[in-house]
Amino acid sequence: MTTAILLVFLLFFLLEYAVETALLVVNLRHVARVGAEVPAPLAGRVSEETARRSRDYTLAKGRFALLSGALGSLFTLAVLLSDALPLLDGRLAALGLGGGHRFVAFLAVLSAAYGLFGLPFSLWRTFVIEEHFGFNRTTWKVWLADQAKGLGLGLALGVPLGYATHAFMAGTGRLWWLWLFGFLTGVQVVMLWLYPALIAPLFNEFSPLPEGELRARLEAMAREAGFRNRGLFVMDASKRSAHSNAMFMGLLRPRIVLFDTLVERMTVDEAAAVLAHEVGHFKERHVQKRLLLGLAASLLGLWVLSLLAAWPPLFQAFGFAAPSWHAALALFALGGGAFTFFLAPLGSWLSRRHEYQADRFSVRLARAPRALGSALVKLNGENLSNLHPHPWYSRWHYTHPTLLERLQAIEAAARA
């Protein structure tokens, strides 16, 4: 039985790696071949310089993803198949740790190992690739402060959450996964509520959008849409990166947050069209649907975890002498991705559908389809997004339709 379990796991793990790598390689070869051309419908709207830089950025990121993906997969295989986890468990037991203490210590060591492993990749991405293309504005000081705050926050939230999770698993009987689900849902709601007020300000500054034409236009639009909110804020995103965006923070009455980079570079019409798109996600209930879908997925995940945790051959297959809650969680977290990876295209498809709907909503609300189009072209250019994604790659991974697909759909909506 244990051999069969290992074989099924390896099969899915290698299949995931093969599919992911093949998609990346197909995409990169496609981009290397035609990436420097401006697509015909974008002639005059995108400069040749932008097209060339987009190609170079896509290639640089993609090649790095090939390397980091290969090393990351090797690392996970080594952790799972080398007896490292059972050895760690034995060490903790020898230290006299049991119950909740062992659960938390085991997962903390594992997270620390993954954190350390990922560090050089994150550094390279920020200070070499993003730097080279002029996106990085993070200084070493900001970076180190981010790491320290992230670690502090991880400990302050993760440790109590770990103890609570163990208490639910070990102390609430056969239906522990339902109890834990209820608890985690509550935590998530509280976090959504606390995040804008307590956590986000640790990393960024938020100031009210100054009075003026932009503010008046956006407020009038939010009123017209009946969009309840806690006001308009500008976030100092330029402290870390030159990428620009707009988003909401909060649950029922969210704050509308514009990146300072967006405010600087968009016309009033463009910013209004972008914001109307975001309002569309709320009014069309995408945010609510995604939240429910996420809850359903975590309920399903916890149920599967409860079955696996009660199945001793799984633990034997990965070298554990006996089942334990922390081993179950670790195996689930490290090995589960190989199975859920194949659901990714479904999630991407649903997300793209929502993006089309939000674009149509923006056309109706802001009545500035041209500005929406030019805002997307600007965003695409500023972010150096790939102008020539391979269709297989974009079908699998893209949560947004490609620039060309969106522009065509916006034109169709404006005609209708």
List interacting residues with Zn ion (CB under 5 A): 355, 358
- Burial of residue 186, with CB atoms counted within 10 A of its CB: 0-12 exposed, 13-18 middle, 19 or more buried: exposed
Residue 414: CB minimum distance to Zn ion, A: 18
CA atoms 370, 372, 377, 381: torsion sign: positive
> 181 or 361: whose CB is closer to Zn ion?
361
Q: Quote the Cα angle for 255-261-265, to 5°.
A: 115
Residue 278: CB minimum distance to Zn ion, A: 7
Hunting for tokens 């640089």 — which residue is that?
A: 60
359 is catalytic: yes
Select which of 131, 278, 284, 405 is catalytic.
278
> 306 or 386: whose CB is closer to Zn ion?
386
Residue 397: CB minimum distance to Zn ion, A: 16
Residue 281: CB minimum distance to Zn ion, A: 6
CA 134 to CA 413: how far, in whole Å? 35
Residue 358: CB minimum distance to Zn ion, A: 5
Select which of 359, 382, 405, 411 is catalytic.
359
Residue 400: CB minimum distance to Zn ion, A: 7
List C-alpha distances in Å: 110 to 117, 180, 269. Answer: 11, 22, 49
Contact 344, 385 (CB under 8 A): no
Residue 355: CB minimum distance to Zn ion, A: 5
Contact 179, 303 (CB under 8 A): no
> 130 or 355: whose CB is closer to Zn ion?
355
Span between the terminal Cα atoms of the chain, in Å: 60
Q: Rounded to 5 degrees, what are φ and ψ at 229?
A: -150, 170
Active-site residues, by number, are 278, 359
